[in-house]
Amino acid sequence: GAGVSQSPSNKVTEKGKDVELRCDPISGHTALYWYRQSLGQGLEFLIYFQGNSAPDKSGLPSDRFSAERTGGSVSTLTIQRTQQEDSAVYLCASSQGQGAPQHFGDGTRLSIL
Amino acid sequence: SQQGEEDPQALSIQEGENATMNCSYKTSINNLQWYRQNSGRGLVHLILIRSNEREKHSGRLRVTLDTSKKSSSLLITASRAADTASYFCATGTSGTYKYIFGTGTRLKVLA
């Protein structure tokens, strides 16, 4: 596709359920980022992938959060046992490498009831 | 606190006026980027300025960088209603992949 695609665009789930968010980066982009944006706030860095490896997972808020990337392309962010404070917009971005401009998807708006 | 903090938090101007937003950061950087976010959408990259550059232009955008003051400014000239959005700065440091985004400036351009 022409841009970064994220799915689903909206997700409403009950507290305690697991959710999986998907990101399809721009073809050929080796770097992939996940961010979290709470209402009216800036972006909170979660994790970065270079190829399939994530050199630093320290941005993940808790051990309920995990992410993987396969084939140097699609990435999934999984949140287990969701809590209400997990409600936010989760944004994915890809770039050609470190220091290059990031291209963002439109995000997944996650609401935990 | 955030590496990048924008000022003002919100700005409302008339169409045709210039809009200036400022970004301050705390540590040494390799480059600084500005992004725009329309409501409900992802961020769109506007301009990148490297630490050895002082000023950069792109269309109606002018970015300055003062590394001695650890600050940057984004100027939008002859603003349009379509410029209404939130604007974020993001700082990158040498040798790392992590970009730190500021809290953003919400710009409203009145027609």
> Could you read off the pLDDT of B67-81 as tens digits, one per residue?
999 999 999 999 999
B14-53 tens-digit pLDDT: 999 999 999 999 888 999 999 999 998 999 999 999 999 9
* Residue that the structure tokens 């937003």 belong to: B21
Residues A66/A49, Cβ–Cβ less than 8 Å: no
Parts of chain A with a pLDDT under 50: none
Nearest CA-CA distance, residue B101 and chain A, Å: 6
Share of chain B above pLDDT 70, in %: 96
Q: Which residues of B touch A (CB under 8 A)?
A: 2, 4, 30-31, 33, 35, 40-45, 48, 88, 90, 92, 96-104
Residue range B77-95: mean pLDDT, rounded: 92
A101 reaches B (C-beta below 8 A) = yes
Mutation for testing the A interface, residue in B35, B97, B100 having most A CBs under 10 Å: B97
**Contact flag A106-B44 (C-beta cutoff 8 Å):** no
* Average model confidence (pLDDT) across chain B: 92
What band does B1 get if pLDDT is binned at 50, 70 and 90? very low
User: Residue A42: which of B42, B96, B103 has the nearest Cβ?
Assistant: B103
Rounded to a whole number of angstroms, the distance from the CA of A50 to the nearest CA of chain B is 9
What integer pLDDT is reported at residue A39 of this predicted model? 82
Q: What pLDDT score does B2 carry? A: 42
Residue B94's pLDDT is what?
75
> Alpha-carbon dihedral of residues B32, B105, A59, A30, nearest 10 degrees?
-50
CB within 8 Å: B33 and A101: yes
